[in-house]
Amino acid sequence: MRETPESLVVDPGLDETIKKLTPEKIQTVVEHVLTKENAARLKVYSDTCVHCGLCAEACQTYISRDKDPYYSPVAKVKNTLWELVKNKGRVPPESIRDMSRIVFTECAVCRRCSMYCPFGIDIAYLLLVVRRICSLLGVVPAYLQDTTNSHAATMNQMWVQQDEWIDTLQWQEEEAQAEIPSCRIPLEKEGAEVMYSVIAPEPKILAQLLGNISQIMTVAGIDWTMPATDGWDNSNMAMYSGDFEVMGRVERLHWETAARLKVKKVVMGECGHAFRGAVYDGPRWLGWKFPPIPMVHAIEFYYDLLKSGRIKVREKYKKSVTVQDPCNTVRGRGLGNKLRYVVNELCESFIDVDPRLEHNYCCMAGGGTINCGPPWKRSRMVSNRVKAEQIEATGADVVITPCHNCHSGIEDIVGFYKLKKHVKFISEIMVEVMEIPDSLKA
Amino acid sequence: MYDFSRGPLVWIAFGIFLIGSIYRIVSVIKLAKKDKVVLPYMTWKYGLRSILHWITPFGARNMRLRPAFTVMTYLFHLSLLLVPIFTLGHAILWRESWGIDLWALPNLLSKLMTFIVIIAGVIFVLRRIADPAVRFVTSAGDIVLVILVLAPFVTGLMAYYQLAAYQTILIIHIWTGALWLAIIPFTRIAHMLYFALTRAYMGCEFGYVRHSKDW
Ligand code: SF4
Ligand code: SF4
């Protein structure tokens, strides 16, 4: 491994943990993961890859770092998985440290590269296999591991206690009532049409979003509820840290909570990785083909509300806007056109990004990268210069990001590259421009 | 020597190729059954949709990003598949050995296609050396493989133009061709066997499961 500014970053999650590793332990874990947990895909992908490098062009880290070959998707696989396979797991602890850095902080498992490899090799999956190995070895960036620990202990990502949770919901209910007196955040309402799911950053640092949704639900006349118990957060960083046991617990509790409340569907707030965990990774780990109850992402939910006229627009948003297509709901759910419909309905002037839809660049905050915390922020920023250029080229004033990771990631980029842009969720614009019927006004 | 090469050797090579290929594909499908999240998510519709997009020239964005390379890759693979089967000299062998009457490529075309294979192959090797992203992941084996693939084409041309002792060069041609055929299932040329499988799987992951597209 060569020395880069990134390889010199200090992170106790990597530096301290490798001290406890022994060669035998590494070998056992690697063998277990490669032979017991993974079969066909790992084998076929390794045999099929023709080392053509055509996936390089897909990756924002490669493009942003002046096409440094070290950052192409296949190079990341070479530096991690190929090494482990070739040496049958006999690698020194220092190598595990480097591999952990690569797979956790230099790949956002955005899966863009799978669309550029002629064989459709799922490189993100291969790098997740390495994350799994690192997780079982305990070599995970400290901040990311902390979110996983939080999931394990509290079932949410940010150590939110149940009383804080209920308290925050009631506080935001009152905030919403200041706008529309009949607003509620109904807790534990059995048989409601919709259970609304959020992730822990909402009660913890972005509580106004809960007030916003209360207003939107009230105006649209939706029969909805939220749980008062654990099971409300499926943001699931464990899915990305490689702790699939905890991931499974989080998703199971989330779906069991929805089942207990006997709701018809779950609406996932503006978060991409929570959607991914609940709809794809969680069910698969639990042995279900698809989620037991339909889940609708906020983009689609808002689309339905606008299309059906349940939400009407009083006056469109004036500033020019562009969007960040979140990987997990656009590449991962095909919601790109619905997102554009929503944005055009709400805003006067929409300027599209290029490349767009499934081909959009990742925010480089997803896949747990932003959760690796401050030590890695600079690296993430350098890894996504192309995103800054792409946003700047639109000339828009506001970037709409219907995903928590994208939102924080784009805010970081706006700050780091000194772009004069604001970053907003859809719901923030929606409450500003929607028509509130007279019957609901005080 | 010549008789052995023309007879049993070719049979053996075909045998290894066929049995090896079947073995590889069957064992992959068996493995896929163990990897529980593969087969349940596969459908013909989305699998074929993806394959079609990726065998159509310029059917995917990555192909449009590099037009010259795309054209070259297509011509290379097309020629690589067609020439060995349909070149005139081989068509005669098909008839003599198996009584199969195959349509044969016009001489000029098969010469042209042979040149395409050789030139494209050389460019592939140069690209491996010149493009840092490709060089970084290239191993010696990758280069040896291209040489092995090109060998029967080069010797075929040499035989055609009678550039060396005809009998000798023909024997080398047959041996390299047989080797080429026999190693398909056991080297990275196996991507020929796996392409449809990996592509179809990803097509379904994107199309059937995720309601989006992968090209
Ligand atoms: S960041 Fe995205 S494009 Fe780059 S290697 Fe990871 S999954 Fe592939
Ligand atoms: S594009 Fe696919 S086959 Fe080529 S190097 Fe990348 S992963 Fe391997």
The reply to whether B93 falls in a domain is yes
In a domain, A125, yes or no: yes
* B63 is a domain residue: yes
* CA distances in angstroms from B157 to A119, B59, B113, B163, B180, listed in the order given: 32, 33, 11, 8, 16
Using an 8 Å Cβ cutoff, are A286 and A406 in contact? Answer: no
Both A230 and A287 in one domain: the answer is: yes
Is residue A147 situated within a structural domain? no
Edge-first strand listing for the sheet containing A265-268: A224-225, A194-197, A265-268, A295-297
Residue whose C-alpha is closest to residue A277's, from A363, A119, A403, A172: A403
B68 close to A (CB below 8 A): no
We report the CATH number of the domain holding residue A103 as 1.10.1060
Nearest to A381 by CA among A419, A352, A349, A344: A419
- Which chain A positions have a beta carbon within 8 Å of B40's beta carbon? 289
Q: What total number of domains does chain B contain?
A: 1
pLDDT of residue A333: 96
| Cα(B166)–Cα(B22) distance, integer angstroms | 35
Contact A54 B62 (CB under 8 A): yes
> Which residues fall within 8 angstroms of residue B203, CB to CB, at 6 or more apart?
A120, B46, B47, B48, B49, B50, B51, B53, B214
- Provide the pLDDT for residue A278: 96
Residue B47 sits in a domain of what CATH number?
1.20.950
Residue A32 to residue B156: CA distance in whole angstroms: 48
Closest CA to A230 of A294, A166, A170: A166
The whole-angstrom distance between residue A125's C-alpha and the CA centroid of its chain comes to 15
The whole-number pLDDT of residue A442 equals: 67
pLDDT, mean of residues B128-153? 95
Nearest C-alpha neighbor of A429 from the set A250, A265, A212: A212
Would A145 be classed as within a structural domain? no
pLDDT tens for B64-84 read 999 999 999 999 999 999 999
Is residue A42 located within the same domain as residue A107?
A: yes
**pLDDT digits over B41-62, tens only?**
999 999 999 999 999 999 999 9
A133 lines ligand 2 (CB under 6 A): no
* B59 belongs to a structural domain: yes
Does A58 share its domain with A136? yes
* A266 and A377 share one domain: no
Shortest CA distance from A46: residue in chain B: B188
Instruction: Please check whether residue B215 lies inside any domain of the structure.
Output: no
**A130, A96 in Cβ contact below 8 A?**
no
The answer to whether B214 contacts A115, with C-beta atoms less than 8 Å apart, is yes
- Using CA atoms, how far residue B198 sits from A33, A47, A117, B29, in Å, is 21, 11, 11, 11
Please, what sign has the CA dihedral across residues A7, A13, A17, A19?
A: positive
Phi-psi region of B119 (alpha: psi -120 to 50; beta: other; left: phi over 0): alpha
| A320 exposure class (CB count in 10 Å sphere: 0-12, 13-18, 19+) | middle
| Residue at which a domain ends, from A140, A172, A193 | A140
Which residue in A274, A250, A219, A217 sits closest to A407, CA to CA?
A: A274
Q: Tell me what the mean pLDDT of segment B107-125 comes to.
A: 95
Residue A428 lies in a domain: yes
* Closest ligand relative to A112 C-alpha: 1
3-state SS class at A181? coil
In angstroms, the CA B82 to CA B114 distance is 10
Q: Ligand 1: distance of its center to the CA of A112 in Å? A: 6
Cβ < 6 A, ligand 1 pocket:
A 58-59, 61, 73, 76, 107-113, 123-124, 362
Which 3 state secondary structure label does DSSP give A261?
Answer: coil
Locate A256 and state its tokens.
Answer: 């069991």
C-alpha B123 to ligand 2 mean position (Å):
18
Q: Quick one: A325 and A415 in the same domain?
A: yes
> How sure is the predictor about B37, in pLDDT bands with cuts at 50, 70 and 90?
confident
pLDDT beneath 50: ranges in chain A: none
Asked whether residue B190 is domain-assigned, the answer is yes
Classify burial at B67, counting beta carbons within 10 Å of its beta carbon; exposed 0-12, middle 13-18, buried 19 or more.
Answer: exposed
CA distance A358 to A335: 9
Does B142 map to a domain? yes
Contact A140, A134 (CB under 8 A): yes
On whether the CB atoms of residues A320 and A398 are closer than 8 A, the answer is yes
| Shared-domain flag, residues A299 and A165 | yes
pLDDT of A38 reads 85
Sign, CA dihedral B70-B71-B72-B75, equals positive
Residue among B61, B198, B210 minimizing CB distance to A121: B198
Protein residue with least CA distance to atom 8, ligand 1: A113
Structurally, how many domains does chain A consist of?
A: 3
Distance of CA A76 to the CA centre of its chain: 21
In a domain, A440, yes or no: no
| B196 contact A CB<8A | no
Q: How far is B177 from chain A (nearest CA, A)?
A: 21
Nearest CA among A17, A35, A26 for reference residue A89: A26
Any atom of ligand 2 within 6 Å of the Cβ of A373: no
* A356 close contact with B: CB closer than 8 A: no
Secondary structure class of A354 (helix, strand, coil) = coil
| A148: in domain | no
Gap from CA of A165 to ligand 2 centroid (Å)? 46
Q: Which domain holds residue B126?
A: 2-209
| One domain, residues A217 and A292 | yes
Q: So what's the pLDDT on residue A154?
A: 95
User: Is B111 or B3 the better-scoring residue by pLDDT?
Assistant: B111
Q: What's the gap in Å between the CA of B123 and the closest CA on chain A?
A: 13
Q: How far is the CA of A197 from the centre of ligand 1 (A)?
A: 28
Q: B168 with B186: CB under 8 angstroms?
A: no
* Summary mean pLDDT of chain A: 96
CATH code of the domain covering residue A407: 3.40.50
The SS3 assignment for A38 reads: coil
Cα A106 to averaged position of ligand 1 atoms, centre (Å): 8
The pLDDT of residue B175 is above 90: yes
**pLDDT per residue as tens digits for the range B20-29:** 999 999 999 9
Query: Are A113 and A132 in the same domain?
Result: yes
> Is A439 a member of any domain?
no
Q: Are A364 and A401 in contact (CB under 8 A)?
A: no
Sheet containing A398-400: which strands, arranged edge to edge?
A: A347-350, A317-323, A398-400, A422-424
For the beta carbon of residue B168, count every other beta carbon within 10 angstroms. Answer: 14
| Chain B residues with CB-CB distance to A119 below 8 A | 191, 194-195, 198-199, 202
This complex has an ipTM of 0.93
Contacts for A441 with CB less than 8 Å, ≥ 6 apart: A180
Q: Is residue A429 part of a domain?
A: yes
A199-234: b or e for each residue (b if 16 or more CB lie within 10 Å)? bbbbbbebbebbbbbbbbbbbbebebbbbeebbbbb
CB contact under 8 A, A122 and B214: no
- A386: containing domain: 313-433
